[in-house]
Amino acid sequence: MNWSFLFRTKPISQIMNEASTEPGLHGGHGSSGLKRTLGVWDLTAMGIAAVIGAGIFSTIGTAASAGGPATVLLFIFTAIACAFSAFCYAEFASSIPVAGSAYTYAYASLGELLAWIIGWDLLMEYAIGNIAVGISWGDYFNSLLAGYGLHLPAYLTMDLLTASRGFEQVKAALDAGTPLAGLLAKGLPQTAIDAYQAWMTAPQFLGFHVILHLPAMVVVALVTWIVYVGIQESKKVANAMVLLKIAVLLLVVGVGAFYIKPANWTPFAPNGVSGIMKGVSAIFFAYIGFDAISTTAEECKDPQRDLPKAMIYSLVICTILYILVALVLTGVVKYDKLAVGDPLAYVFGPEGAAVNWMAGLISMSAIVALFTVLLVFQLGQPRIWMAMSRDGLLPPIFSAIHPKYKTPWFSTIITGLVVGIPCMFMNLTEVTDLTSIGTLFAFVLVCAGVLRMDPKRPKVPGRFYTPYISAKWIFPVLTLLGTLACFFYNHDGVMNLIHNLDPENPSLRGFDVLKHRIPLIGFDVLMIYLSWLSFKKSLSLIPLLGLASCAYLMTELGIVNWYRFGIWLIVGLAVYFLYSIRHSKLREGSV
C-alpha cells in the first residue's frame, strides 16, 4: 500500500469542487444544497452567542478567585492568543469557504492524517463542551423553578453518579450517628443531601435507580430540533437571544459600577503569575466559540468577505465585555469570595451589592446565554461530520442534506443523541478542561497550516490574508526575552523545575513530579525548534505567535487532561485505520 497519501494535502480547488458537486447533495446555484442566508452581523451574533455563555456566567468566578483582579490580564492574553488564531482562521475561511472548520483547513495544508486527527478532536470539543453546557443549563433552570416555588422530583434533576456519591456521603454520616436534620450543621453540603434524597426517592427498574437530568436532555432535544429545521430559524433565535444577553451584561456593568469598592482591587494579583494562570481553562472555555462560525461557511451569503469580519468583530466585542464584567465582579466583592457557580448573581445578592432584582435578572439571562451556546455548537458539529463524510472518512449518510430544510439532517440527529443522552446520566465536571485542550490543539494546527503556506504566493482579489511580518529575528528574540522574564519573575519555579521538586508537596520526587512538567518541557523544545525554523525560513510572525501562545496555554491544563486527550486521539486513530483509511477518497485517487 502506498502510505504517502496520509500526508498529501487536498488542493483548495478540489475541496471547493467536491463541496458543490457531491452526488446527492445538489441544491440551487451549484451549491451543496445548504441555504445561504447568513450575513456578517448574523455571523457576528453567532460568534457572540457561542463565546458569551458558561464562561461569563459561571467559570469567570473560579478564575477570579485564584487570580484576583489581575484575571483581566489573563482575559487580555487569551484574547490576543485567540486573535492570532482568528487571523489564520479568517484566511482559511476566506480561501476555503466550505463547511468543516479546522478539519477542512488542515486537509488543505497538512494532509489527511492530521485532518482526521483535528476532525476527531473537534468532535470531542463540541460534544463534551455541549454536554457540560447542557447540564449547566439544566441546573440554572432548576434553580429558576425553585425561585417560583416549583420543584421537579430530585431524581429528575441530577445524574446517577452525583446521586450515588451523595447517598454514600450522607449514609456514612447517618451511620456515624448524625441525625438527618443535623447534617448541615456537621458541614455536609446541601448538594449531598439533595443527592441522598434523590437516591432514596427514585423509582427502580430491574433493580436500578432511575435517576437522570431531565431538563438537560429536554433542552438539547429542543436545540437539536431548531437546528434540524433550518439555518434561518437558528439565526433568528440566536440573534434575538444575543441582543438580550448583551443588554443584561451592559446593565451588570452599569449598575455594578456604582457599587465598586476600589479597595477590593488591592492586591491586584494576590497569588502572582501562578494564581493568574490557574484560570486558563476557565477563561479559555469562554473563548472557544468563535471558531464555530467557520462551520457555517456554506450558509453564508458572502463567506470570503463576511467570515473574517465576523470572527474579529465577535472576538473584540466579547473581550471588552469580559474585561468590564471581571472588573465589576472583583470590585464589588472581594476576589476570594467568587468561587461560586453563579458569580454574577452572587455579587448582586446579600453578600455583595444586595440588588435582588438584578440577581434574578442575571439568573434568567444565564438560561438564555447557555441556550445560545448550545444552539451554536449543535449547529457546528453536524457540519464537521458532513465535511468528513464528503471525504469518505465517515459513512455517506453523514453528508445527506434534508430535501426540505436544507440541513445535514442525519448528522444533526446523531449530534443530538451524542450530547443529549450523556447529559442525562453523566457528571462531567472533571472533563470540562478537555474542551479547552481540544480547542487549543485545533488552533495550533490551524496556525501551523498557515505557516505551511507560502506567504509570497499570488494574492486573489477579494480574499483575506494574514498580514506577513517576517519572524526571522523577531521570534527568536521574543523567545529569548520570554525565557529571561520567566527566570527573573519566577526564579523559584524555574529552580524547582531544574531540581525536580514540588514546592506544594516536598515529599514528591522523580517521575511523580517530572510527569506534570512534560507538557512545559515539550513547549520549551518546540520554542527552540520554531526559533531556528523562523530564522532559517523567515516564517510569518502572526501565525507563529498564534501557535506559540496556544501551545503555551495547553501546558497550563494539567497532565491528567493530556492523558485523557491522548486516549481520545488513540481511539480516533483506531477508527481511522479500521474504517476511514479504507474509504478515503484521497486514497482512492492516489492508488
Residue 572 located in a structural domain: no
Q: Is residue 54 predicted with pLDDT exceeding 70? A: no
pLDDT, position 99: 66
Q: Are residues 363 and 221 in the same domain?
A: yes
Q: Are residues 180 and 228 in the same domain?
A: no
Range of the domain at 304: 3-14+34-147+216-452
User: 24 or 322: whose pLDDT is higher?
Assistant: 322
Q: Are residues 181 and 307 in the same domain?
A: no
Residue 409 located in a structural domain: yes
Q: Cβ distance 317 to 48 under 8 Å?
A: yes
Sorting pLDDT into bands at 50, 70 and 90, what band is 410?
very high
Q: What is the mean pLDDT of residues 72-81?
A: 84
Q: Are residues 309 and 333 in the same domain?
A: yes
Q: Cβ distance 407 to 230 under 8 Å?
A: yes
Residue 58 CB neighbours (<10 A): 25
Q: Which of 383-392, 463-472, 552-561 has the lowest mean pLDDT?
A: 552-561
Residue 439 located in a structural domain: yes
178 φ/ψ sector (left φ>0, alpha ψ -120 to 50, else beta): beta
Q: Before 267, cis peptide (omega within 30)? A: yes
User: 354 or 549: whose pLDDT is higher?
Assistant: 549
Residue 583 located in a structural domain: no
pLDDT, position 591: 40
Q: Are residues 251 and 376 in the same domain?
A: yes
Q: What is the mean pLDDT of residues 351-361?
A: 74
Q: What is the mean pLDDT of residues 216-224?
A: 90
Q: Is residue 50 predicted with pLDDT exceeding 50? A: yes
pLDDT, position 28: 37
Q: Is residue 429 predicted with pLDDT exceeding 70? A: no
Q: Are residues 418 and 316 in the same domain?
A: yes
Q: Is residue 23 predicted with pLDDT exceeding 50? A: no
Q: Give residue-wise pLDDT tens across range 111-125.
A: 888 888 888 888 877
Can you spell out the DSSP letters for 254-316? HHHGGG--GGGG-SSSTTHHHHHHTTHHHHHTTTGGGGGGGGGGGGBSSHHHHHHHHHHHHHH
Q: Give residue-wise pLDDT tens across range 440-474.
A: 888 888 888 888 887 777 777 777 888 889 999 99
Q: Give residue-wise pLDDT tens across range 530-540.
A: 999 999 988 99
Residue 204 located in a structural domain: yes
Domain end residue (candidates: 452, 487, 510): 452
Provide the sign of the torsion angle of the four alpha carbons 50, 52, 58, 59, taken in this order.
positive
Residue 9 located in a structural domain: yes
Residue 538 located in a structural domain: no
d(CA 449, CA 107) in angstroms, rounded, equals 9
Domain end residue (candidates: 425, 452, 479): 452
d(CA 163, CA 199) in angstroms, rounded, equals 6
CATH number of the domain that residue 96 is part of: 1.20.1740.10
User: 18 or 271: whose pLDDT is higher?
Assistant: 271
pLDDT, position 63: 81
Q: Are residues 199 and 319 in the same domain?
A: no
Residue 22 CB neighbours (<10 A): 17
Q: Are residues 8 and 140 in the same domain?
A: yes
Average pLDDT, the chain: 79
Q: Is residue 393 predicted with pLDDT exceeding 80? A: yes
Q: Cβ distance 212 to 422 under 8 Å?
A: no
Q: Are residues 386 and 284 in the same domain?
A: yes
pLDDT over 70, % of the chain: 83
Sorting pLDDT into bands at 50, 70 and 90, what band is 423?
confident
Domain end residue (candidates: 452, 469, 490): 452
pLDDT, position 349: 74
Q: Give residue-wise pLDDT tens across range 131-171.
A: 878 887 887 788 778 767 888 898 888 888 788 888 888 88
Q: Are residues 142 and 183 in the same domain?
A: no
- Total tally of structural domains belonging to the chain: 2
Q: Are residues 342 and 309 in the same domain?
A: yes
The number of angstroms, rounded, from the C-alpha of 518 to the middle of its chain's C-alpha atoms is 23
Q: What is the mean pLDDT of residues 243-263?
A: 86
Alpha helices (runs of H) in 22-177, residue ranges in sequence order: 40-51, 54, 60-67, 71-95, 102-109, 112-147, 160-175
Residue 515 located in a structural domain: no
Sorting pLDDT into bands at 50, 70 and 90, what band is 414?
very high
Q: Are residues 50 and 166 in the same domain?
A: no
